Amino acid sequence: MNEISQTKEAKVVNPEGSPYNPQKARIIGERQLTTDTKLFELELESGERLNQDPGQFVELSIPGVGEAPISVTSSPTRRLDSFELCVRAVGNVTNTLHKTNIGDTVGIRGPFGTGFPVEELRGHDLLFIAGGLGIAPLRSLINYTLDRRDEFNNLNILYGCKRPCEQMFEDEVDHWARRQDIYHEATVDFCPDNVCWGGNIGVITELIPGVDIDLDNTYAIVCGPPVMYKFVLEELDEKDLPHEQIYLSLERRMKCGIGKCGHCQINGAEEVLYACQDGPVFNYEKVKGFEEAI
């Protein structure tokens, strides 16, 4: 039986059974990825496993500071007793988290949201398109597919950053580049003269024409800054990839994480979606009618 459950219900790990009660998690590892982004390894104090699906997120809280949604970047096929979060220091919670030490505890609620549809993707060609911090949720699914390589067909990974020094998970990116069974291309918007960079220079959409897309068999999985989606989707349209075969991980301001407060609402003409519960992973065909979605 597949260990990844495909349930769309929030699987909540917490001792008292309320989705609002955070559970304590201890920081057991930290690694600086770029000047403003760190990778944290955490374990739940209860000894339970987080049991996340690739693409799900947790609400991370620091008492007296606040709470923020953060994608779980580790694959459930690895680190069964711990999980990883890749966090950019941008505001109250994330800056405070960056000042913590190994052994400190934080609060964790979740995992929440719909992950990537692993069962639907199984057996197909996958095209991952990650921009900047968008690599964080995609890394969970990428490592899942690499650990179960024989269950997926062709894997294509396109990863774009602003500058070479902003590329994260360099060891893993090098590994993708060395593997013969993965098509991998990296790009940066800009490369300073004194920096050695072997990839493309330009926006990520420039890499899409180079991918061999089998229209009957390929799923695109996209995550990046808001500005990226429009252009990536236009380029995928150029390739005639059916919209049902495109999955987008979308970011919204969130609070409760469980579809109660309305902070993450995406309004459509007749229906409202909650990014925390109906997403953050959405099928493009289903979400494209919602004017506020992209």
Which residues would be at the binding site for ligand FAD (CB under 6 A)?
57, 66, 68-71, 86-88, 90-94, 133, 136, 251-252, 254, 280
Nearest distance from C-beta of residue 239 to ligand FAD, angstroms: 27
Which of ligand FAD, ligand FES, none does residue 220 bind to, with CB < 5 to 8 Å depending on kind? none
Contact 47, 56 (CB under 8 A): no
47/167 Cα distance (integer angstroms)? 33
28/163 Cα distance (integer angstroms)? 30
Which of ligand FAD, ligand FES, none does residue 280 bind to, with CB < 5 to 8 Å depending on kind? ligand FAD
The H or E element containing residue 177 is helix 170-178
State the residue for tokens 């180079």: 210
Contact 130, 223 (CB under 8 A): yes
Nearest distance from C-beta of residue 91 to ligand FAD, angstroms: 2
Which of ligand FAD, ligand FES, none does residue 257 bind to, with CB < 5 to 8 Å depending on kind? ligand FES
Which of ligand FAD, ligand FES, none does residue 124 bind to, with CB < 5 to 8 Å depending on kind? none
Q: What phi and psi values does residue 263 have, to the nearest 5 degrees? A: -60, -35
Which of ligand FAD, ligand FES, none does residue 33 bind to, with CB < 5 to 8 Å depending on kind? none
Closer to ligand FAD by CB, 233 or 281: give it: 281
Nearest distance from C-beta of residue 66 to ligand FAD, angstroms: 5
Which of ligand FAD, ligand FES, none does residue 239 bind to, with CB < 5 to 8 Å depending on kind? none
| Buried/exposed code over 65-93 (b: 16+ C-beta within 10 A; e: otherwise) | eebbbbbbbbbbbebeebbbbbbbeeeeb
Closer to ligand FAD by CB, 112 or 183: give it: 112
Closer to ligand FAD by CB, 123 or 226: give it: 226
Closer to ligand FAD by CB, 11 or 122: give it: 11
Closer to ligand FES by CB, 88 or 109: give it: 109
Contact 290, 268 (CB under 8 A): yes
Nearest 10 degrees: Cα torsion 175, 179, 181, 183: 70
Q: Kindly give, in sequence order, each residue whose CB lies less than 8 Å from that of residue 272, ignoring residues fewer than 6 positions away.
A: 265, 266
Which residues are near ligand FES by CB under 6 A?
254-257, 259-264, 274, 276
State the residue for tokens 């925390």: 276
